[in-house]
Chain A
Amino acid sequence: MTSRTSVELRVAVVTFPGSNCDHDCYRAAKDVLGAEAYFVWHRERDLREPDIVILPGGFSYGDYLRAGAIARFSPVMEAVRRFAENGGLVLGTCNGFQVLCEAGLLPGALVRNASLRFIARWVRLRVENADTPFTSAYRQGQVLRMPIAHGEGNYVADPATLERLEAERRVVFRYCDAEGRVTEEANPNGSLHGIAGIVNEAGNVLGLMPHPERAVEALLGSTDGVGMFESMRAHLRAAVAPAGDSQEAPAAAPAGRR
Chain B
Amino acid sequence: MNRYLVEIRIVPREGLLDPEGKAVQNALRSLEFTGVEDVRVGRLLRLELAGATPEEVRARAEDMCRRLLANPVTEDYEIDLENIS
Contacts and interface: CB of A to CB of B under 8 A. Distances in A.
Contacts of A156: 16-17, 73-74
A190 B73 contact: no
B39 interface: no
B71 A69 contact: yes
A74 interface: no
B78 interface: no
A141 interface: no
Interface stretch (A88-96, A107-115, A123-131, A195-203): A107-115
Contacts of A102: 71
A179 interface: no
Contact of B19 (A66, A101, A108, A116): A116
B69 interface: yes
A73 B73 contact: no
A109 B74 contact: yes
Contact of B20 (A73, A101, A108, A112): A112
Interface residues of B, number: 11
A108 B23 CA distance: 24
Given A114-B19, A115-B19, A116-B20, A66 B73 contact: no
Interface in B18-53: 19-20, 23
A157 B20 contact: no
Contact of B23 (A69, A73, A116): A116
A115 B23 CA distance: 9
A157 B73 contact: yes
Contact of B71 (A73, A109, A113, A114): A109
Nearest to B16: A156
A57 to B, nearest CB: 19
B16 to A, nearest CB: 6
A69 B68 contact: yes
A107 to B, nearest CB: 8
Interface string B5-20: 0000000100011011
B69 A65 contact: yes
B19 A73 contact: no
A157 B71 CA distance: 12
A158 interface: yes
Nearest to A158: B73
B69 to A, nearest CB: 7
Q: Which 4 A-B pairs have the closest CB atoms?
A: A109-B73, A109-B74, A114-B19, A116-B19
24 contacts: A66-B71, A69-B68, A73-B68, A102-B71, A107-B73, A108-B73, A109-B71, A109-B73, A109-B74, A111-B16, A111-B19, A111-B74, A113-B19, A114-B17, A114-B19, A115-B19, A116-B19, A116-B20, A116-B23, A156-B16, A156-B17, A157-B73, A190-B17, A190-B19
Interface of B: 12, 16-17, 19-20, 23, 68-69, 71, 73-74
Given A156-B74, A157-B73, 10 more contacts: A69-B71, A107-B73, A112-B20, A113-B19, A114-B17, A114-B19, A116-B19, A156-B16, A156-B73, A158-B73
